[in-house]
Amino acid sequence: MRILLVEDEASIAEPLATGLRREGYEVEHAATGAAALDARTADLVLLDLRLPDMDGLDVCRRLRASSSVPIIVVTARGEEADRVVGLELGADDYVVKPFGLRELIARIRAVSRRAEGRGPAAGPLHVGALAVDERARRATLDGRVLELTPKEFELLAALARDPGAAVSRRRLLEEVWQTTWLGSSKTIDVHVASLRRKLGDPAWIETVRGVGFRLRGT
């Protein structure tokens, strides 16, 4: 596996890269956001948020807009707001400094397993006039293509796989954001609200109090 390590502090990047290589990973180091965006395609990105040329959240946003590569944010910014924004922008996990190498490697393995397990469905999922094509990553309603962000699409697909069934917040966090940190569940509400607007009718996604959400069945 090839890891892109985006970290501007050499005192952190060098020993971390050495430890990862010792575990068998190929590591490419980028000290700036611009270098990270210009780097070769990696299998996973470790992304610091405090970079000298741009905010790491902007790097996360731009990486996610063009790729589904797993992204683990590694930063000293541990406030809840930073976690929520990072997950909203497409990060798969969030590790706060200081951390142990063993913990980081465990998270890398967990995120990689989840990414490998997110295979597309055999065909489009149909719920009434709604069609969700996981292979093409396209959703249509009455034949009209819905302009969805990557996370909005994954959230809609997670609900569409079992229409009419209540899907828990924890399950959505695991399947869409690859985390079990329930403190980040606010980001689900943000994405659900956006999906309801784009679907044109809030009744498409029902809130199941104390559980999560369900996509209206036919």
Q: What is the pLDDT of residue 51?
A: 94
Residue that terminates a domain, selected from 98, 116, 134: 116
Q: What is the pLDDT of residue 116?
A: 66
Q: What is the pLDDT of residue 176?
A: 83
Gap between the Cα atoms of 149 and 143, Å rounded:
18
Residues 168, 66 share a domain = no
Residues 100, 42 share a domain = yes
Question: How many domains does one find in the chain?
Answer: 2
Residues 45, 6 share a domain = yes
- Catalogue the long-range contacts made by 125-132 (C-beta closer than 8 Å, 24 or more residues apart): 125/157, 125/160, 125/161, 125/163, 127/160, 127/163, 127/215, 127/216, 127/217, 127/218, 128/216, 128/218, 130/160, 130/199, 130/204, 132/156, 132/157, 132/160
Assign residue 146 the CATH number of its domain.
Answer: 1.10.10.10
Q: What is the pLDDT of residue 206?
A: 95
Residues 144, 102 share a domain = no
Specify burial of residue 179 (Cβ count, 10 A radius: 0-12, 13-18, 19+): buried
Residue that terminates a domain, selected from 89, 116, 143: 116
CA 9 centroid distance within chain: 25
Residues 177, 88 share a domain = no
Q: What is the pLDDT of residue 127?
A: 92
Residues 7, 82 share a domain = yes
Residues 138, 75 share a domain = no
Residues 163, 86 share a domain = no
Residues 108, 12 share a domain = yes
Residues 140, 69 share a domain = no
Q: How far is CA 132 from CA 129, 140, 198, in A?
A: 10, 7, 14
Q: What is the pLDDT of residue 183?
A: 61
Residues 104, 48 share a domain = yes
Residue that terminates a domain, selected from 88, 116, 144: 116
For residue range 44-53, what is the model confidence (pLDDT) as tens digits? 999 998 899 9
Q: What is the pLDDT of residue 92?
A: 83
Q: What is the pLDDT of residue 145?
A: 94
Assign residue 102 the CATH number of its domain.
Answer: 3.40.50.2300
Q: What is the pLDDT of residue 78?
A: 62
- Per the structure, the complete domain to which residue 110 belongs is given by 2-116
Residues 175, 137 share a domain = yes
Q: What is the pLDDT of residue 202?
A: 93
Q: Which residues of the chain have pLDDT under 50?
A: 121
